[in-house]
């Protein structure tokens, strides 16, 4: 830091220079985040200085968080579920497994996750000193329940299912996992970080949420398909005792106990979560999800018309394409400003988020056709 500051305008122009190097979402087909909804931006700014870590000072922000959680609980099949707005899927997953560990008899045990689980579970293994056992997937890239059951032993504290896998958007058979969890007296966490704001709005979908008996907790991220600002995650528990198992005494604060992982935590992204849900309602979200699904189908059909196959049937707005000379094709697409990603199996991965539009998808398909020499 310099001894003397520089003028306000100069600081702003420096910030603008940094910002100008960032990409806009316009041609990004690789991200699970999106442009926040306009009302999310306004809500975020309104609550910038609030700290939900000391809720007695910000009772309005706290009440707003409680309402946001209750709307999410309703959406995810159990209106009496409890939880809080986290910083994202990683914190929600950490806290769910930490609660399982705290409430379980097995202090140093293991958890069983699908091979498709997000890398946050590897962090969890390290943080909580738990063994993370990875169960094989079946040919539809959903976890094989028999494989999960085969990995259970007397040190297992919980199972994890994914509702919307990061790479393929697949929904695990949550009912089968729940049955296994109940039979073995284990907790079951559902990671719906991505799918939580997609699956409820699909025309039909398998049961995946807290309405399934045996599901103990669920992750859902407003800062992904919830169109909120970053950082907004959601964590819900069916049984309040799991949330309580996370609480720490905070003697000198306005609330005497705290169950969040972070101490100081902004109410800004919570406000944006609340605002988007209130403003859009179920119908508004459904229209957005319908549009993303229809764009996904369009890419799939048009790509098929020039000989590009979809290796895995999409369950939602995450699409994979089987493309020869993938790295060269990606290079050509990048020259036109497109960002796509690649799965571990070597397929092109596209996430069709709300910032995309039909005309942009048409441009993408045109460039894809060109890049693949079709
Ligand atoms: N669970 C699932 C199923 C996820 O897909 C993700 C993130 C998480 C948990 C962790 O969420 P947080 O990143 O909010 O902690 N999935 C994306 C991914 O790793 C996150 C992402 C988003 C990465 C935008 C890049 C990006 O540009 O791909």
pLDDT, tens only, 198-211: 999 999 999 999 99
Place of tokens 């169109």: 227
- Residue of 221, 316, 317, 355 to mutate, ligand 1, most atoms within 8 A of C-beta: 221
152 Cα: distance to centroid of ligand 1 (angstroms)? 27
The residue-averaged pLDDT of 94-115 equals: 91
- Find the 280 Cα to ligand 1 centroid distance in Å: 23
What is the predicted pLDDT for the residue at 310? 96
* Spacing, Cα 12 to ligand 1 middle (Å): 30
Residue whose CA is closest, atom 20 of ligand 1?
32
Identify the residue whose C-alpha is closest to ligand 1 atom 16. Answer: 166
| Residue ranges of domains in the chain | 8-36+282-371, 38-278
The residue nearest atom 10 of ligand 1, judged by CA position, is 89
pLDDT of residue 268: 98
Residue 242 has pLDDT above 80, yes or no: yes
Looking at residue 254, its pLDDT comes to: 85
pLDDT tens profile 311-350: 999 999 999 999 999 999 999 999 999 999 999 999 999 9
| Ligand 1 pocket mutation pick from 36, 193, 320 by most atoms within 8 angstroms of CB | 193
Q: Which atom of ligand 1 is nearest to the CA of 192?
A: 3
Q: Which atom of ligand 1 is nearest to the CA of 195?
A: 3
Q: How confident is the model at residue 252 (pLDDT cuts 50, 70, 90)?
A: confident
Share of the chain above pLDDT 70, in %: 99
Exposure string of 158-193, with b = 16+ CB inside 10 Å and e = fewer, is bbbbbbbbbbbbbbbbbbbbbbbbeeeebbbbbbbb
Asked whether the CA dihedral 9, 11, 12, 16 is positive or negative, the reply is positive
- For atom 22 of ligand 1, the residue with the nearest CA is 32
Say what the pLDDT of residue 265 is. Answer: 96
Could you tell which of 24, 89, 192 is best to mutate to test the pocket of ligand 1, judged by most ligand atoms within 8 Å of the CB? 89
Return the C-alpha torsion angle 112, 113, 119, 121, nearest 10: -40
Beta bridge partners of 57: none
Ligand 1 atom nearest the C-alpha of 341 is 28
Confidence of residue 70 (pLDDT cuts 50, 70, 90): very high
Pocket around ligand 1 at a 6 A CB cut-off: 31-33, 88-90, 93, 118, 120, 162, 166, 191, 193-194, 221, 233
Residue 157 and residue 104 in contact, taking contact as beta carbons nearer than 8 Å: yes
- Ligand 1 closest atom vs CA 230: 14
Determine the distance separating the centroid of ligand 1 and the alpha carbon of 82, expressed in angstroms.
23
- What local confidence, expressed as pLDDT, does residue 261 receive? 97
| Over residues 208-237, mean pLDDT | 98
Task: Among 114, 118, 161, say which to mutate for ligand 1: greatest number of ligand atoms within 8 Å of CB.
Answer: 118
- 11-54 pLDDT, tens digit per residue, is 999 999 999 999 999 999 999 999 999 999 999 999 999 999 99
| The CATH number of domain 8-36+282-371, selected from 3.40.640.10, 3.40.50.2300, 2.40.33.10, 3.90.1150.10 | 3.90.1150.10
| Atom 9 of ligand 1, residue of closest alpha carbon | 89
Whether the full predicted model's pTM is greater than 0.95, yes or no, is yes
DSSP string across 126-182 = HHHT-EEEEEPB-TTSSB-HHHHHHH--TTEEEEEEEBS-TTT--B--HHHHHHHHH
Q: Is the pLDDT of residue 1 over 70?
A: yes
Residue 269 near residue 33 (C-beta atoms within 8 A): no
Q: Which atom of ligand 1 is nearest to the CA of 117?
A: 3
Mean pLDDT of the chain: 97
Class of domain 38-278: alpha beta
**pLDDT tens string 263-302:** 999 999 999 999 999 999 999 999 999 999 999 999 999 9
Atom of ligand 1 nearest to the CA of 166: 5
Probe target for ligand 1 pocket from 94, 120, 127, 218, with the most ligand atoms within 8 Å of CB: 120
Ramachandran assignment for 59, one of left (phi > 0), alpha (psi -120 to 50 degrees), beta (any other): alpha
Predicted local distance difference test score (pLDDT) of residue 373: 87
**Taking 80 as the threshold, does the pLDDT of residue 107 lie above it?**
no
Q: What percent of the chain has pLDDT over 90?
A: 96
So what's the pLDDT on residue 105?
Answer: 73
Residue 86: is its pLDDT beyond 70? yes
Distance 90 CA to ligand 1 centre (A): 8
Q: What angle do CA 122, 221, 351 make, to 5 degrees?
A: 85
């Amino acid at each position: 830091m310099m001894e003397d500051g520089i003028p306000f305008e100069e600081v702003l122009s420096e910030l603008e220079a940094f910002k100008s190097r960032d990409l806009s979402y316009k041609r990004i087909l690789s991200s699970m985040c999106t442009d926040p909804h306009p009302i999310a931006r306004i809500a975020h700014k309104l609550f910038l200085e609030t700290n939900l870590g000391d809720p007695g000072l910000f009772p309005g922000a706290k009440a707003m968080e409680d309402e946001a959680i209750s709307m999410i609980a309703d959406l995810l099949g159990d209106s009496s579920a409890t939880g809080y707005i986290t910083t994202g899927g990683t914190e929600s997953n950490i806290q769910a497994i930490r609660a399982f560990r705290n409430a379980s008899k097995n202090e140093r045990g293991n958890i069983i996750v699908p091979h498709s689980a997000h890398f946050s579970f590897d962090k969890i293994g390290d943080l909580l000193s738990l063994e993370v056992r990875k169960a094989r997937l079946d040919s539809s890239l959903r976890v094989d329940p028999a494989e999960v059951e085969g990995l259970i032993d007397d040190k297992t504290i919980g199972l994890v299912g994914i509702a919307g896998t990061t790479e393929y958007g697949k929904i695990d058979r949550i009912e089968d996992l729940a049955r296994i969890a109940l039979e073995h007296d284990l907790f079951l966490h559902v990671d719906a970080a991505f799918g939580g704001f997609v699956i409820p709005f699909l025309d039909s979908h398998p049961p995946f949420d807290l309405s399934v008996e045996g599901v103990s907790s669920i992750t859902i991220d407003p800062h992904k398909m919830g169109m909120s600002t970053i950082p907004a995650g959601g964590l819900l528990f069916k049984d309040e005792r799991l949330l309580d198992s996370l609480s720490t005494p905070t003697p000198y604060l306005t609330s005497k106990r705290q169950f969040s992982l972070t101490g100081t935590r902004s109410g800004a992204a919570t406000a944006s979560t609340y605002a988007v849900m209130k403003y859009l309602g179920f119908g508004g979200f459904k229209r957005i999800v319908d549009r993303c699904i229809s764009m996904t189908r369009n890419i799939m059909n048009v790509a098929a018309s020039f000989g590009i196959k979809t290796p895995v049937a999409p369950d939602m707005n995450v699409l994979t394409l089987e493309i020869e000379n993938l790295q060269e094709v990606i290079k050509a697409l990048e020259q036109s400003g497109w960002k796509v990603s690649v799965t571990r199996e070597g397929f092109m991965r596209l996430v069709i988020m709300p910032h995309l539009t039909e005309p942009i998808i048409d441009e993408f398909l045109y460039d894809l056709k060109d890049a693949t020499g079709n």
